[in-house]
Amino acid sequence: MTESSFLLVVFATALLIIPTFSLGKHSRPKLKSENKVAIFVFGDSVFDVGNNNYLNIGIEGKANFPPYGETFFRQPTGRFCDGRTIPDYAASYANIPYWKPFLDTSYQNFTNGANFASAGGTVIPGDNPITLNFGTQVGYLQQVANLLNETLGHTEAQKILRNGIYFSSFGGVDYMYYTSENENATESEQLEFVTTVIGNFTYWIEEIYQKGGRKFAFQNVGPLGCQPEMKQSYNLTGKECYEFVQTLATLHNNALSNMAIELERKLSGFTYLIFDFFTTLNDRIQDPAKYGFKESNIACCGTGTNRGTGCGRTTAYELCSDPNEYVFFDGGHPTESCYSELGELLWNGTSDVTWPLNMKQLYELEIYSADDGHFIDHKVIASSLISHQDIASY
């Protein structure tokens, strides 16, 4: 090999590294300070800020009564929490107001995004037909896209949609329903169901991509088997968790990571993060004192051995005096205190809890520049450089 062709190979190899580098910390196109990033929130009760208040469903599917909301909003909002939840913290860090539910009919122009999440929301429509499943929520995104296009024009609307973050929390409810009917399923049957859930989830992510979405934040499924509600219904004591549903969550989270890697390969400009809700919450459940909590097996609010059910809606529910001491507010949902720690980890945590980026990095990534009116697409830029080199090497 001659010296010059050797250098060419080195140079071409260096160029091959560019796609990785362009997603790295330093050479990424940075968001211009005057541009705000919208956040579009999809999911279940972990992200619902009151959409279910507007649905014709029973009280079990709602959280619009006391003591929900007692710590921060000082009134129930529909959040399954005593205060703010992870999407609220994400909004604060992104400098946008706390969420109103999308279904709230008071004026919203959606330039900051929208929250479509619905407690009980599933990926597979048939799993729970009475709340807003992922497909329904993506339909609402289309309504928002149409409205932005009508009010701001195509270019501005595309700028919001391309630079926006699509933040989702899905799967948990599908696995809770599956568990209630298939508790004896073998691991390969479980895996088959996980594949179906991930297959449908992927379909809707690709739909969002078609509408302009490029920046995705996936919160994975939490440690379902360790929730006070589960411990109570399976008569588990102490730190014991219900392993069946815990396995489903783990299988799902592995499949979710693989899905994201696949989509990054397949879809030009697709960027993502996975926030490890499972591990960050499980750490606090297993060792509450380390994170400033006193109790993680029993919820702050509810009835039964673990106060696992009925918060605010049975005549004799119990309520703790200081939710800050608890990891869980009700049997299935963390306290504001816990969510505030997780929200910070999502925003600026290290790659052991949010990978390959954290939300701050995803936020600052500029996909569409309105000034020159064209898309910045890392992979297209990188691959055009590579093919340029390939041609030069002939």
Ligand X SMILES: *[C@@H]1O[C@H](CO)[C@@H](O)[C@H](O)[C@H]1NC(C)=O
CB of 146 to ligand X, least distance (A): 6
Residue 148 DSSP one-character state: H
As a whole number of angstroms, the distance between CA 45 and CA 40 comes to: 15
**Dihedral class, residue 312 (left if φ above 0, else alpha if ψ from -120 to 50, else beta):** left
Start-to-end C-alpha separation, the chain: 15
CA distances from 91 to 84, 136, 190, 202, 258 (A): 11, 23, 35, 25, 27
Decide whether 143 or 348 has the Cβ nearer to ligand X.
348
Decide whether 194 or 299 has the Cβ nearer to ligand X.
194
Using alpha carbons, select from 91, 128, 129, 133 the residue that is nearest to residue 116: 133
Residue bearing tokens 């009925």: 310
- Provide the binding-site residues for ligand X, judged by CB under 6 A: 109, 111, 124, 126, 146, 149, 154, 183-184, 196, 199-200, 203, 234-235, 344, 348, 350
Can you state the percent helix, strand and coil of the chain, rounding each to 5? 45, 10, 40
Decide whether 111 or 254 has the Cβ nearer to ligand X.
111
CB of 129 to ligand X, least distance (A): 12
CB of 232 to ligand X, least distance (A): 9
Active site residue 333: yes
CB of 183 to ligand X, least distance (A): 5
As a whole number of angstroms, the distance between CA 248 and CA 250 comes to: 5
Decide whether 154 or 388 has the Cβ nearer to ligand X.
154
- Closest chain position to ligand X (CB): 199
Residue 329 is inside which H or E element, if any? strand 328-330
**Catalytic residue, candidates 48, 118, 333, 337:** 333
**Catalytic residue, candidates 330, 337, 340, 377:** 330
Using alpha carbons, select from 322, 347, 344 the residue that is nearest to residue 335: 322
CB of 124 to ligand X, least distance (A): 5
Contact 328, 296 (CB under 8 A): yes
Give the contacts of 14 (CB within 8 A, at least 6 positions apart): none
Decide whether 112 or 250 has the Cβ nearer to ligand X.
112
CB of 151 to ligand X, least distance (A): 7
Decide whether 36 or 313 has the Cβ nearer to ligand X.
36
Q: Is 72 exposed, middle or buried (0-12, 13-18, 19+ CB in 10 A)?
A: middle
**Catalytic residue, candidates 22, 45, 118, 169:** 45
Give the contacts of 34 (CB within 8 A, at least 6 positions apart): none
Using alpha carbons, select from 302, 326, 331 the residue that is nearest to residue 316: 302
CB of 47 to ligand X, least distance (A): 20
Decide whether 174 or 377 has the Cβ nearer to ligand X.
174
Using alpha carbons, select from 92, 87, 104 the residue that is nearest to residue 40: 87
As a whole number of angstroms, the distance between CA 376 and CA 366 comes to: 7
Just list the catalytic residues.
45, 330, 333
